[in-house]
Amino acid sequence: MIKFNIRGENIEVTDALRDYVEERISNLEKYFNDGHEMTAHVSLKTYKDGSAKIEVTIPAKRLTLRAEDKSRDLYGSIDAVQEKLARQIRKYKTRINAKGNGNLPEIEEFADLQEEIQAAYAETKVVRTKHVDLKPMHVEEAVLQMEMSGHDFFLFTDGDTNTPSVVYKREDGQVGILETK
């Protein structure tokens, strides 16, 4: 069962909008075994240019599902986010079942998706392995290295914390950082 925590920024969350979000995201319950409770954190936001953004985060036992979409059609974005989350679930389930080598944890709350698993796994192939040296550097230098390499991300050791980190380009053109604990 999925519980909902829906909040709006620059938008009133009407009953109709709340019902639509709950109906679409609740469709994901078919991927989970009965009795597992989750909370879907839903954030709706509108902008001055008329576009709207929806973000959904669903923390599960060993996996956090997250998707977002921004467009001028809020209801279309809700549908797109539901599809993205369903793809994430199928992809993850595919990996843990197809590999069968214990490298990925079992997620017992996923229901059986055997046909989709086989089809998705047939499409996924690792085509290249690259080894990198994690050189200690400051975030600013890592951003510069990312831009010089032409990639959307750069893996490095943070010189301040001495932990592996990743800088990445966000869809909005800004830079984000992923830090390890």
The one-digit pLDDT tens for each residue of the chain (181 residues) are: 788 999 999 999 999 999 999 999 988 888 776 566 788 899 999 999 999 999 998 887 667 788 999 999 999 999 999 999 988 888 877 776 665 544 444 455 455 555 555 555 566 677 778 777 788 899 998 988 888 777 899 999 998 899 999 999 998 889 999 998 8
Q: Are strands 64-71 and 52-59 parallel, antiparallel or unpaired?
A: antiparallel
- Determine, yes or no, domain membership for 111: yes
Strand order in the sheet with 38-46: 2-9, 38-46, 52-59, 64-71
Handedness of CA 7, 11, 17, 20 (dihedral sign): negative
Q: What is the pTM of this model?
A: 0.58
Domain shared by 147 and 112, yes or no: no
Q: CATH number of the domain that 162 lies in? A: 3.30.505.50
**61 and 117, same domain (yes or no):** yes
Q: Which residue range is the domain that position 9 belongs to?
A: 2-123
Dist CA 28 CA 78 (whole Å): 13
8 and 44 both lie in a single domain: yes
Place of tokens 């809020």: 74
Q: Where are the alpha helices (DSSP H) in the chain?
A: 15-26, 74-99, 114-123, 139-149
